[in-house]
Chains A and B, each alone.
Chain A
Amino acid sequence: GESVGLHLPTLSVQEGDNSIINCAYSNSASDYFIWYKQESGKGPQFIIDIRSNMDKRQGQRVTVLLNKTVKHLSLQIAATQPGDSAVYFCAEKWEYGNKLVFGAGTILRVKS
């Protein structure tokens, strides 16, 4: 089926620590993956993406790792800040119709 699942529904980290959010995807034909951040009362906001021909991509304080062998995606946030508190979603793009299928989301709570 079209399910993208997250292992940890809630992650609490201390400010300044690194955060790792994990995601399992189901469609081995997916060729593009995106991480989104959703703050309360707002729409999902693009963080970083990665194509299936890559296994790692870095942005500003964020890194996405892709393991196609086990269909696993992770988002690493360095030096987590209170402003990083949000719900994080991974999404995979299915070839047909440019359709993004979202995972269930992980709540990230940053403790000061």
Chain B
Amino acid sequence: DTAVSQTPKYLVTQMGNDKSIKCEQNLGHDTMYWYKQDSKKFLKIMFSYNNKELIINETVPNRFSPKSPDKAHLNLHINSLELGDSAVYFCASSQGDRGRRVYGYTFGSGTRLTVV
């Protein structure tokens, strides 16, 4: 069983379209994340949800809207796609802080988004 699974793995779409990426984790973690990896391999956090509550919202355009129906799912919807949105998007999950310990932090295999 895949611990953190994302769909689709590849997504090619035209500028201006709206698309969604789905993520599910079966690790029982209570925190989920979206990271964006650009062409230079730089990984940057976009959003973090803890038990369906938005915790981190980095400087991301409003066209990006995360949705967490339950703590095992975190989807990413992108409106009016632009060329610069082309990247690999990674979902991750972890167990939230218990005191000063951090558990987990497992990544999915990524969704390669290409906007043409």
Contacts and interface: CB of A to CB of B under 8 A. Distances in A.
Interface in A22-68: 31-32, 34, 36, 38, 41-46, 51
B77 to A, nearest CB: 21
Given A31-B100, A43-B109, A99 B56 contact: yes
Give chain B's interface residue range (CB within 8 Å of chain A): 20 to 34
A88 B72 CA distance: 28
Nearest to B42: A104
B63 interface: no
B105 A34 contact: yes
A87 B102 contact: no
A32 B105 CA distance: 12
B64 to A, nearest CB: 17
Nearest to B94: A98
If over half of B's interface residues share one DSSP class (helix, strand or loop), that class is named, otherwise mixed; here it is strand
A41 B35 CA distance: 15
B1 interface: no
Contact of A98 (B48, B107, B108): B48
9 contacts: A42-B109, A43-B4, A43-B107, A46-B105, A98-B50, A98-B97, A98-B102, A102-B42, A102-B43
Contact of A104 (B35, B40, B45, B92): B40
B56 A89 contact: no
A98 B96 contact: yes
A13 interface: no
Contacts of B105: 34, 46, 100
A102 B44 contact: yes
Given A98-B48, A98-B94, A105 B107 contact: no
Contact of B106 (A32, A46, A98, A105): A46
Contacts of A93: 102
